[in-house]
Amino acid sequence: MKLTFPIRCHSGLRPRITQPYGATGNLQWYKDKGIEMPFHNGTDITIGDPKQTYGSALIVPGEGWRVVKATYDNPMSTKGNGVTLQSSSFVEDGIEKVLQVVYWHCSEVMPSGKALPAESVVAYVGNSGAVSPEPSPSCPYCGSHLHLMMFELFYLNGKWVLQNADNGVNGAIDPMTRFSLSDLSYGTDSDIAKDNPPLVWAMGKLGLDDVWKRIVYLYKLLIK
């Protein structure tokens, strides 16, 4: 199954893998956050610097995919925002399969249970949840990246069975066995509203949120 890379490229930027599936260099950091795993269970991806990465569109990787789970609190959620998409079934090597992909640390997700057109937007990259470096009022976009996960299920005896369920990371496999950095989607950057949440959060942390609201109000008056 050919898939389009999940982050839409913009502003002349291309995706970059910052931590591959299987990496073990940051296990202590994860353990300190209460996350136990023998190796990195997905692929971390950025597109440009943290500010350029934040708010980049995350898209449906092919035809016949639908959202089966969405977790959303707020753009700067401490628990993290994520969305799981599932493919329609397909036959590979004589076996009926489905794929699931998970986009994590999102700033925004758009839940939908119906089949979605290929390359339609389902979420935006953010820095919610456990990220490094952590966002702060002086660096509100820090930690912005996509944590991309993938699972394969096959049909056996009338039910769907998770492959590699005993691999130590609950069946998560290397997403780059299916995705390629050469199969990219291009478009424009998301509008400024998608970049605002970290600034609003930082202003709130500094006790300046009322000032920010006044600035936004005046800006809207000026552009009418």
pLDDT given for residue 12 in this prediction: 96
* Average pLDDT for the chain: 93
Task: Burial-class residue 129 by CB neighbours within 10 Å (0-12, 13-18, 19+).
Answer: buried
Domains, the chain, ordered by start:
16-189 (2.70.70.10)
- Give the mean pLDDT of 56-70: 96
Task: Give the pTM.
Answer: 0.92
Residue 224 has pLDDT above 60, yes or no: no
Strands (E), 94-223: 95-104, 106-109, 115-116, 121-125, 146-156, 159-162
Q: Tell me which amino acid residue 163 is.
A: Q
- Give the mean pLDDT of 97-117: 93
CA distance linking residue 51 with residue 117, whole number of Å: 28
Q: What percentage of residues in the chain have a pLDDT greater than 70?
A: 93
Which one has a higher pLDDT value, 38 or 209? 38
Between helix 209-223 and helix 197-205 the angle, nearest 10°, is 140
The β-bridge partners of 29 are none
